[in-house]
Chains A and B, each alone.
Chain A
Amino acid sequence: GQQLNQSPQSMFIQEGEDVSMNCTSSSIFNTWLWYKQEPGEGPVLLIALYKAGELTSNGRLTAQFGITRKDSFLNISASIPSDVGIYFCAAPRNNNDMRFGAGTRLTVKP
């Protein structure tokens, strides 16, 4: 089963709105990753976080590594239709056992 609790499960927003999603765990991680999966494709890495408290941006995306190392947040500003997809948080349990959250399905209405 999954050890990462991701919320919300889905979001329906209007184009131009900001989006926030998060991922929590009872375990401490040294790395948090955020992926996006578009229909019919595999997940693509968006942002990687390596340090507690770190805030990293990639265009309109901003992600934060929680100070407790047990959570992470992803924000999307001024959403556009092409932001549609499923967003996954991920964290390595050990060197190569990557765990994924259940995903947040984002729908953007034009």
Chain B
Amino acid sequence: DAGVIQSPRHEVTEMGQEVTLRCKPISGHDYLFWYRQTMMRGLELLIYFNNNVPIDDSGMPEDRFSAKMPNASFSTLKIQPSEPRDSAVYFCASSLAEFPGYGYTFGSGTRLTVV
């Protein structure tokens, strides 16, 4: 099992540019989560999907952020336009069961730097 795969690993972009982060969950997992990690706020849940349907996007900071899951094996997180305060590590995670006690499997993250 290749685990949760995220791309790119690192992204440096200029303020105002569009950024797209990609995630391939573990095959068979029916939940997918996007988290953002910063020193100030730690790990924050942005949005999660169940069977490709967005369930809770209350953690999405503002309208500049959007996420899609067109099929069970792919999800994107888009920031348009990007701002320096969006600089963070973005993690995708997936899980098999609705009960989170089984734990999530995280990807290696995308380190985003907006200059």
Residues of A within 8 A of B (CB): 1-2, 30-31, 33, 35, 40-45, 48, 50, 88, 92, 95-98, 100-103
Contacts and interface: CB of A to CB of B under 8 A. Distances in A.
B39 to A, nearest CB: 9
Contact of B45 (A30, A45, A97): A97
Interface of B: 4, 31, 33, 41-43, 45, 48, 50, 55-56, 91, 93, 98-109
Given A1-B41, A42-B91, A97 B56 contact: yes
B31 A96 contact: yes
Contacts of B103: 33, 35, 45, 48
B101 A50 contact: yes
Contacts of B101: 30-31, 33, 48, 50, 92
28 contacts: A1-B41, A2-B42, A30-B101, A31-B100, A35-B103, A40-B108, A42-B4, A42-B106, A42-B107, A42-B109, A43-B43, A43-B106, A44-B106, A45-B103, A45-B104, A48-B101, A48-B103, A88-B43, A92-B100, A92-B101, A95-B100, A96-B31, A96-B48, A96-B56, A96-B100, A97-B56, A101-B42, A102-B42
